Amino acid sequence: MTRTDNNIRLKTRQGVNSFGMVMLNAMALLVVVVWGVSFINTRMLLDAGLGPVEIYIIRFVMAYLVTLAISHKRLLANSLKDEVLFGVCGLCGGAIYYMSENMALEFTSTTNVSILTATTPLITAFLVVAMYKSEKLGKGLIVGSIIAFVGVVFVVLNSFFSSDETFHINPLGDFLALLAAASFAIYSIVIRRFNANYDVMFISRKTFFYGVLCAIPFLFIEGVDHEIAVYAKPVVWGNLLFLGLVCSMFAFIVWTQAVEKLGAVRASNYLYLPPIVTLFAAAIFLDEAITIVGVLGCLLIIGGMYVSEKVKFKGDTTQSTTPVASRANRPK
């Protein structure tokens, strides 16, 4: 085979890999769009009389049953340690994240919760640096993350100019919102450990299972205060199907792949985008106004993500994606 043939094959392989990364980023973007819209679906279900824990359990049971039907040949992990870590994924990426976020809304404003949960990418970056010695965050990634976070604040503050909502401090509610952000950051990091030994369907199925298992005790505390006939309403079963099959099953499967290929830090930067999606979804479905402050926030988020991905400052090195499949990079 000639050197020319080798060069052609190499360029073809690089082109395929580049196309694959473009598609992966596009799918990750689609996931955050879905998660941004899910706020509207959850709001409709709450207005219909369903409780937050009830909604969470139904959507994750639905996702678990579908993934179980697809991936059922293997039930247990390779070791007890891995099984425990899958429990951590279900607890942090499911039960704690969703329930603490919903409970936070009962004690503090939507504005506070939106801003504080948007700290997930920053928390992820700090945790990765603390856990993995090989991970080095360049100045571009840090500066871009800060710009994007400021954009999130602007998007959320859009409500100040379109309603009478005010910013206030409530320690319990704000703590729960930060707990939600930290728990999802932990989930994004932990699932990276499994990509070398388990397929994405198995990882997602385990997350759904342990997420539901951890949430069941809270359902007994919350209770169910509505008639069974409420599930026959199109607005209820339609939104539950969307949350269960799209926002849970599809989104978690794609997110697991995004974290594997892009790295926990880079993938988490996409979590700055849901406030933009929610902003426009609320304008379309809830008739909420969009102000110049909200538009400026959207531009800052997009600009911050561009800086994180493309801009390199003096002294920056290639960003690591935390290849935790390598034993040397696993936390001690």
- The share of the chain scoring above pLDDT 70, in percent, equals 76
Residue 202 predicted with pLDDT over 80: yes
Taking phi over 0 as left and psi of -120 to 50 as alpha, with beta for the rest, 322 belongs to left
314: number of Cβ within 10 Å: 5
Cα–Cα distance for residue pair 56/35, rounded to 1 Å:
14
**What pLDDT sits at residue 122?**
77
- Percent of the chain beyond pLDDT 90? 19
- pLDDT winner (highest mean) among 32-46, 73-87, 88-102: 73-87
Checking if the pLDDT of 94 tops 80, the result is: yes
pLDDT band at 238 (very low <50, low <70, confident <90, very high): very high
Question: What's phi and psi for 258, nearest 5 deg?
Answer: -65, -45
Among candidate residues 50, 23, 61, the one with its CA nearest the CA of residue 244: 61
pLDDT band of residue 234 (cuts 50, 70, 90) is very high
pLDDT at residue 39 above 80?
no
Enumerate the H helices of 137-199 as residue ranges: 139-156, 171-190
- Measure the CA–CA gap between 67 and 210, rounded to whole angstroms: 14
pLDDT, position 46: 83
- The alpha-helical segments, DSSP class H, found in the chain are 3-47, 52-70, 80-90, 97-107, 110-117, 120-131, 139-156, 171-190, 200-222, 234-241, 251-262, 264-268, 274-285, 292-310
The DSSP 8-state label assigned to residue 325 in this structure reads T
- Provide the token pair at 289: 């106004």
| Residues written for the chain | 332
| Mean pLDDT estimate for the chain | 77
pLDDT band of residue 169 (cuts 50, 70, 90) is low
Residue 317 pLDDT exceeds 70: no
How many angstroms separate the Cα of 233 from the Cα of each of 104, 236, 331? 28, 5, 49
Query: What pLDDT score does 165 carry?
Result: 53
* Average confidence (pLDDT) over 290-313: 75
pLDDT of residue 133: 66
- Sequence-distant (6+) residues with CB within 8 A of 50 are 226, 230, 236
